[in-house]
Amino acid sequence: MRRIAVINQKGGVGKTTTTVNLAAALALAGKRVCVIDMDPQAHASTHLGVEPDGTIPSLYDVLVANKPLADVRRIVGDNLSLIPSDINLAAAEVELAGIVGREVILREAMAADEVRPTPPIGTRNAERGTRNEDPEPEGACDLPLRAPHSALGAPTGSSPYDYVLMDCGPSLGVLTLNALAAADEVFIPLQPHFLALHGLSKLLETTALVARRINPKLVVSGVVVCLYDAATKLAQEVVNDLSAFLEKSRGANVPWAKAKVFGTRIRRNIKLAECPSFGKSVFGYAPKSGGAADYAALANEVMGVTVPQVVGPLKLSVET
């Protein structure tokens, strides 16, 4: 399993777009994927067709009320699950302020989830005597039930996912620290414009701090160049500056010693901007678009998977 935190404390650089569409590409390629929405703005949840209204079980319940991940998780597509966010999560920062070990709550919840027996569908909530008697949280769609639910009744003993992608919000606060503590690797989406590299050193220092204190295996795998406009010289200059900077860190004892600027550029593509409002990934909304091609290429470059070229409408919306 690869656990990837998608972070950049700047907003609007392509974190959510990258998380959702990379997750969809991997799911299409047959990998079992879970997206964790770490941003109180809940854009990834909306993008995946789940509209948080302040009442649905969310990551807030996991971090603040110690709910198991399984009680919050929803299936949002073939091979694709979501731990939704909710505006309540904005309060987590304050509510967790006095809690010892607040940065590792998600990591512990993930560890518990990995070894937890998956009860048969329809009994999992009743078994624990919780109020919800539905086999899945309300709103979950009626897609073919695959992993993690395929291991009916049997203890999985290992992770039900091949990939966990954590979409972080625009801050380096306790939510992002939880993602960094739970992750094996970090992807940094970056919009190559003036001042794009401003703030990057703070971000990298944070990964170093987390690696030193709570998660020694954390590495920064690479930078995803998003909203790329090949026609501008500035974009190329930013990429060159960044590559030169990373080159200088080779061999250093820092989490980004092996980081690279991924070769795939995510070009500016209107379909990528349009698809969130339909609650679909770009593969469901516009499978022949440049946006779909770029995220398929990124999944191929970084994960080595092949996304089927001809895809029907991938169902990514929750039935209501």
- Spell out the long-range contacts of 122-126 with Cβ–Cβ below 8 A and sequence spacing 24 or more: 124/70, 125/71
Strand 80-83 relative to strand 74-77, pairing: antiparallel
Dist CA 12 CA 41 (whole Å): 12
Among 61, 268, 280, 303, binds ligand ADP (CB under 6 A): 268
Q: Using the minimum distance from each CB to Mg ion, give the nearer residue, 177 or 211.
A: 177
Site string for ligand ADP, 34-63 (x = CB under 6 A): ---------x--------------------
Contact call for residue 276 and ligand ADP (CB under 6 A): yes
Bridge partners of 164, per DSSP, are: 3, 34
CA–CA distance from 119 to each of 107, 111, 129, 136, 153 (Å)?
A: 22, 17, 13, 12, 4
* Total interface residues for Mg ion by CB under 5 A: 3
Q: At what angle do helices 290-303 and 15-28 cross, to 10 degrees?
A: 70
Q: Using the minimum distance from each CB to Mg ion, give the nearer residue, 82 or 246.
A: 82
CB 186 within 8 A of CB 255: yes
Q: Using the minimum distance from each CB to ligand ADP, give the nearer residue, 140 or 177.
A: 177
268 interacts with, out of ligand ADP, Mg ion, none, CB within 5 to 8 A per kind: ligand ADP
Contact call for residue 227 and ligand ADP (CB under 6 A): yes
* 33 closest CA partner among 62, 4, 58, 9: 4
Dist CA 66 CA 109 (whole Å): 8
Among 5, 188, 226, 316, binds ligand ADP (CB under 6 A): 226
Contact call for residue 89 and ligand ADP (CB under 6 A): no
Residues 6+ apart with CB under 8 A from 235: 192, 193, 225, 228, 229
Q: Using the minimum distance from each CB to ligand ADP, give the nearer residue, 186 or 266.
A: 266
CA neighbours within 13 Å on the CB side: how many for 50? 34
Distance of CA 304 to the CA centre of its chain: 18
Contact call for residue 192 and ligand ADP (CB under 6 A): no
Site string for Mg ion, 23-52 (x = CB under 5 A): --------------------x---------
Among 272, 286, 307, 314, binds ligand ADP (CB under 6 A): 272
Contact call for residue 196 and ligand ADP (CB under 6 A): no
Contact call for residue 186 and ligand ADP (CB under 6 A): no
Dist CA 25 CA 317 (whole Å): 16
Contact call for residue 15 and Mg ion (CB under 5 A): yes
Contact call for residue 207 and ligand ADP (CB under 6 A): no
* 224 closest CA partner among 310, 284, 179, 165: 165
Among 14, 52, 84, 255, binds ligand ADP (CB under 6 A): 14
Contact call for residue 11 and ligand ADP (CB under 6 A): yes
Q: Using the minimum distance from each CB to ligand ADP, give the nearer residue, 70 or 168.
A: 168
79 interacts with, out of ligand ADP, Mg ion, none, CB within 5 to 8 A per kind: none
Rounded to 10 degrees, the C-alpha dihedral 26/29/32/37 comes to 20
Binding site for ligand ADP (CB under 6 A): 11-17, 43, 226-227, 266, 268-269, 272-273, 276
Binding residues vs Mg ion (CB under 5 A):
15-16, 43
